[in-house]
Amino acid sequence: MNRLDATLELLSELTRWPSVSGQLDAQHGLAAWLESWMVTHLNARVIYPVASQAADKPPVVHVRIDTGASKTVVLYNMYDVMPADDAGWDVPPFVGGVCHWDDLGDVFVGRGAENNKGPLAGMLIVLRELLQNNQLAVNLEILLEGEEEIGSGTLRRYLAQQPCPVAPAEAVLFPSLCEYGGGAPRVYLGFTGLATGRLSVNGGDWGGPSSAIHASNAGWIANPAWRLVQALDAIAPAADSGVLGYIAPDAEANALLATLAQSFSIDDELRFRRSQRLMISGDAVTCLQTLLGSAVLTLAELHSDPVGGRGVIPFRASAELAFRIPPAFDQDAMIAAAQQRLAQPDLTGTRLELVDRYPGIRFGRHASGVDELIASYQTLGAQPQIWPWAPGCAPAYAFAAIAPAFLIGGLGHGGNAHAVNEFVTLTGLERFQQSLSLWLTAFSDSTFGRVAPHQGNTREVLKQNITGNFNEDSR
- Alpha helices in 294-425, H assignment, sequence order: 331-342, 370-379
Q: Domain 3-191+361-474 classified CATH 3.40.630.10?
A: yes
pLDDT digits (tens, 9 = 90+) for 395-404: 899 999 999 9
Sign of the CA dihedral with 37 first, then 42, 46, and 47 last: negative
Contact 396, 425 (CB under 8 A): no
> Which residues are within 8 A (CB) of 429 and not within 5 positions of it... i.e. 6 or more apart?
4, 7, 8, 108, 118, 122, 412
pLDDT at 421: 98
Pairing assessment for the beta strands 72-78 and 172-175 based on DSSP bridges: parallel
pLDDT at 449: 42
Query: Which of 323, 321, 264 is closest to 289 using CA atoms?
Result: 264
pLDDT at 271: 85
Query: pLDDT over 90 for what percent of the chain?
Result: 85
Side-chain half-sphere exposure of 224, counting CA atoms within 13 A? 29
Measured distance between the N- and C-terminal CA atoms of the chain, rounded to whole angstroms: 9
pLDDT digits (tens, 9 = 90+) for 97-132: 999 999 999 999 999 999 999 999 999 999 999 999
Quote the CA–CA distance of 328 and 287 in Å, as a whole number.
17
Quote the CA–CA distance of 299 and 227 in Å, as a whole number.
16
Give the Cβ contact number of residue 25 at 10 Å. Answer: 11
Res 33 pLDDT > 60: yes
Contact 116, 77 (CB under 8 A): yes
Quote the CA–CA distance of 203 and 221 in Å, as a whole number.
10
Q: From residue 259, how far is each of 252, 284, 285 by CA, in Å?
A: 11, 11, 9
Same fold, 3-191+361-474 and 195-357: no
Query: Which of 186, 191, 367 is closest to 259 using CA atoms?
Result: 186
Quote the CA–CA distance of 151 and 331 in Å, as a whole number.
16
Q: Where are the domains of the chain?
A: 3-191+361-474, 195-357
- The average confidence (pLDDT) of the chain is 91
Contact 422, 115 (CB under 8 A): yes
Buried b (16+ CB within 10 A) or exposed e, 309-336: eeebbbbbbbbbbbbbbbbbbebeebbe
- In this structure, which topology does domain 195-357 adopt according to CATH? Alpha-Beta Plaits (3.30.70)
- Alpha helices in 249-283, H assignment, sequence order: 251-261, 266-272
Res 18 pLDDT > 50: yes
pLDDT digits (tens, 9 = 90+) for 263-317: 898 888 888 788 899 998 999 999 999 999 999 999 989 999 998 888 999 999 9
Query: Which of 76, 63, 91, 81 is closest to 14 using CA atoms?
Result: 81
The three-state secondary structure class of 379 is helix
What value does the mean pLDDT take over residues 144-172? 94
pTM of the predicted structure, to 2 decimals: 0.86
Res 92 pLDDT > 60: yes
User: Could you tell me if residue 112 is left (phi over 0), alpha (psi between -120 and 50 degrees) or otherwise beta?
Assistant: left
> Which residues are within 8 A (CB) of 467 and not within 5 positions of it... i.e. 6 or more apart?
none
Q: What are the two backbone dihedrals, phi and then psi, of residue 370, each rounded to the nearest 5 degrees? A: -70, -50
pLDDT at 265: 86
One-letter amino acid of 38: M
pLDDT at 474: 33
Contact 165, 46 (CB under 8 A): no
The three-state secondary structure class of 270 is helix
pLDDT digits (tens, 9 = 90+) for 43-73: 999 999 999 999 999 999 999 999 999 999 9
> Which residues are within 8 A (CB) of 297 and not within 5 positions of it... i.e. 6 or more apart?
232, 235, 236, 242, 244, 321, 322, 323, 324, 338
**Burial of 433 per CB tally in 10 Å (0-12, 13-18, 19+):** buried
Query: Which of 330, 328, 355, 350 is closest to 339 using CA atoms?
Result: 350
Length of the chain: 475
Q: Residue 149's Cα: distance from chain center in Å?
A: 7
